[in-house]
Structure 1
């Protein structure tokens, strides 16, 4: 084999033989990586834009990007633009497998770009102040960083929307045909929230969105939107009304009739002894107390021997 090489003086990129001969990635993934490394800083890149430049479709490009992520040549991060509040995907590209702590996160750009690339191959730092390195870097795969400020609570609507967008964005890691951009994931996030409100778990939702996919997915956003609407679980039925519809006037305990419970009656009686004001009682409690009172009087009369004859034991109606 004879090789003819030229010596360019401008507009060229140098690649290591380690990269060009890396057998852990496919030819398609290697070509995508070399193209990304050759781009200038802050260049825009997405699955759709890359697929439009070559014969490979979106599915193959998405699969190649996943290969590069596994081989640690690329890291995709979803970030929130501090200026506009919109979500965007940032491609952090390396010309060699990165180690833990490589590639410090940078502040979001003010422009409303849905996706952008950060080329680390040139050795130049991008414009803008860089954030601090993580104190305890982890080498295990992890979810993209939080899409909202840490001061927001877990019940904040923005937190739920960001979590839903991350869920949809993560589907592309396991099923490349369902890869979404940050703007597309954010647009479909409210539909995911409806599933969660109706009691669906992440596992049930993922199965409904990924099971039985067609051989060719022409539009991942349209397919996911259709499944999210068509397969959405029904609204759960309202809980049955309690049988005890009355509340105690003292403590609020549930009663079959209006009034007070036995504990509150005893407390009120102790406080109102000597008062002639009647104490409102529940119908069942009042009947029980009257029957007990009549029984007690009959028992005392029998013990005193009133009437002279044999005393018939009283019958207490409860």
Structure 2
């Protein structure tokens, strides 16, 4: 008897399927999100959730890919893809800025409604009670201009866009001996880069062009993991030309040969005659001769026995 029965208004059919909302009015600690974001048909669920999270953060919060990957279970690859979706839809704008101490950081601007200007505060008109005489409008108070102050110096300076390259790029390093085994290893390493960085998708032509440079790294005793880290670490966002970036890194980051590596196998003197090694037909001992046969000891024993 003490339980209050809640009934639907006359003429309205009760909701028996689908979602049923049980809403509580928030008075603190909430963020207003538009339905244009929450019900966006062109964004993935990861992108929508990431946009909601970013809009709920205070100004100055760090929203880098690594910081978001530490906060959420999604990988850095999925978070980077979601950020690109939000940039394409106009909810985010990221730019590289240079601070006063020379450091370059990423500035992220979040828009809760892309393409809309910030509305001005509405002017409310005082309400007058019914039946009361309206007071004559007051004259606005004179506006006293504030003293002119010098504009504040910006704390960050936008990095100018890169200037188009006019000089030809440095030639790709060439190996001393591009053996088939090294070629296969280099081609497999380049093809596998997209597993570690989805932006590094190369065509077969790009791989054939870059293989000699990677073989040069392998000739200089560079481990494949070392080469892979040098090619995939700290990739720019967005990456428009992966093959050009890899060509630059292969050329600019090429390590020098190990000390003494060239002394291990000195080149043969020009004109020197090298007599091949043969195995003795009797004792299987190695000896130098142009023709197979017996070693010196076996030839002596055979002559003595004869």
Q: Which range, TM-score by smaller chain? A: 0.3 to 0.5
TM-score (structure 1 length as normaliser)? 0.38
Per the normalisation by structure 2, the TM-score is 0.39
Q: Per chain length, whose mean CA-contact separation is higher, i.e. which structure has more relative contact order (CA < 8 Å, sep 6+)?
A: 1
